[in-house]
Structure 1
Amino acid sequence: MSATAKFRENVEGLRRIAWDVAAKVVDPEVPVLTIEDLGVLRDVRIADDGVVEVDITPTYTGCPAMGVFTMDIETELAKAGFGEVRINTVLSPAWTTDWLSEEAREKLRDYGIAPPAGKASRRALFGDDEVTCPRCGSKNTEKVSEFGSTACKALWRCCDCAEPFDYFKCI
């Protein structure tokens, strides 16, 4: 194997390690989800100068978690022995709930938050026809407020078990 090939292999190995470290950073608003679960983690590279570059996409413009994500990614990579880290906020393409992994949807349900009911589309802007209660599984639910505990969630109530719950909006 040539020296160049060995160098590339080493860089790719470091990139995978850096990805795995960054991928474990949790969402401060929904601590059962990682930035990888959310689809917020877009790319990790090792630049020619050895800097770890991490691309993240906000779930929506002005998301307050982005500052926490940045700080936590830098902290976790430093703990793992990486030196300088550069965090890039990537706005295009815009994040969509379609980027949530199936595991993320299951984690949301288990945590008591109803995952997005459908695919992101223009129709999603007009509300969801059917949101399933994450507690009892009933489809007999009603929207209480367009805004829940955070701007990306709405407050719903189950008409069968009478429990309120957050619904992660489809965007």
Structure 2
Amino acid sequence: MMTASPQQDAAFGTEQHVWQVLEGVPDPEVPVLSVVDLGLVRSVEIAGDAAVKLEVTPTYSGCPATSLITAAIELALQDAGYTVETATVLSPPWTSDWMSEEGRRKLKEYGIAPPSPCGTRGAGMTIACPQCGSEDTALVSEFGSTACKALFKCNACLEPFEYFKCI
């Protein structure tokens, strides 16, 4: 069976098509999330028949994966037939509030507790265990495998888990 070239695809060259391609670009740290799930792509502009301009915001300005993520975005779009120009935008800074509901669901299914809405986590707030749903959990460390995650344990199922911090 022959597949259509990118230029023969009826959606090629549309903003919708670009977003579909971007949905296939995984985050290198949590590969079940795409750059779209995380809200890293700030804007998409169709700048010609096969030219795309993007604004990308890293999760934080010192994120070591920023260049890797940008390269993965550019490669995916080039493989789809586009020429790509990306700009890194740092202001306003990325916030975990930009994550999609789909991304939050994927995090939980992956075993990481999704972030609370920013400004809502305070003293006495509980983080539900992504394994069993219990709110009988305890903070073990403010830092998990990366600075953007905290380590918790569940007192009900006894499983450790990470919580993606509100940033």
TM-score by length of 2: 0.85
Distance, in Å, in 1 between the alignment partners of 2:48 and 2:123 is 46
Of 131, 139, 143 in structure 2, the residue corresponding to residue 143 of structure 1 is: 139
Matched letter for residue 100 of structure 1: M
- Residue 103 of structure 1 and its aligned partner are, at CA, apart by 1.1
2:34 maps to which residue?
34
Distance, in Å, in 2 between the alignment partners of 1:82 and 1:96 is 29
Q: Helix, strand or coil for the counterpart of 2:45?
A: strand
Of 128, 151, 155 in structure 2, the residue corresponding to residue 155 of structure 1 is: 151
TM-score by length of 1: 0.83
More helix by share: 1
Does the CA contact (< 8 Å) of 1:141 and 1:159 recur in 2?
yes
- Listed one character per residue, the Cα deviations across residues 133-156 of structure 1 (whole Å, up to 9, x for unaligned) are 000111011111111111110111
Matches within 5 A, 1:115-134: 115-117=114-116, 119-121=117-119, 124=121, 129-134=125-130
2:71 maps to which residue?
71
Matched letter for residue 86 of structure 1: E
For the aligned residues, what is the CA RMSD? 2.3
1:22 maps to which residue?
22
Distance, in Å, in 2 between the alignment partners of 1:70 and 1:128 is 38
Does the CA contact (< 8 Å) of 1:23 and 1:41 recur in 2?
no
**Range 131-140 or range 92-101, more displaced:** 92-101
Q: Helix, strand or coil for the counterpart of 1:166?
A: strand
| Structure 2 CA distance for partners of 1:128 and 1:63, relative to 1, 3 Å | farther
Matched letter for residue 108 of structure 2: R
Distance, in Å, in 2 between the alignment partners of 1:40 and 1:145 is 26
Distance, in Å, in 1 between the alignment partners of 2:43 and 2:161 is 33
Where in structure 1 are there 5+ consecutive unaligned residues?
Answer: 1-9
Q: Helix, strand or coil for the counterpart of 1:98?
A: helix
| Structure 2 CA distance for partners of 1:151 and 1:144, relative to 1, 3 Å | same
| Structure 2 CA distance for partners of 1:128 and 1:102, relative to 1, 3 Å | farther
Matched letter for residue 107 of structure 1: K
Where in structure 2 are there 5+ consecutive unaligned residues?
Answer: 1-9
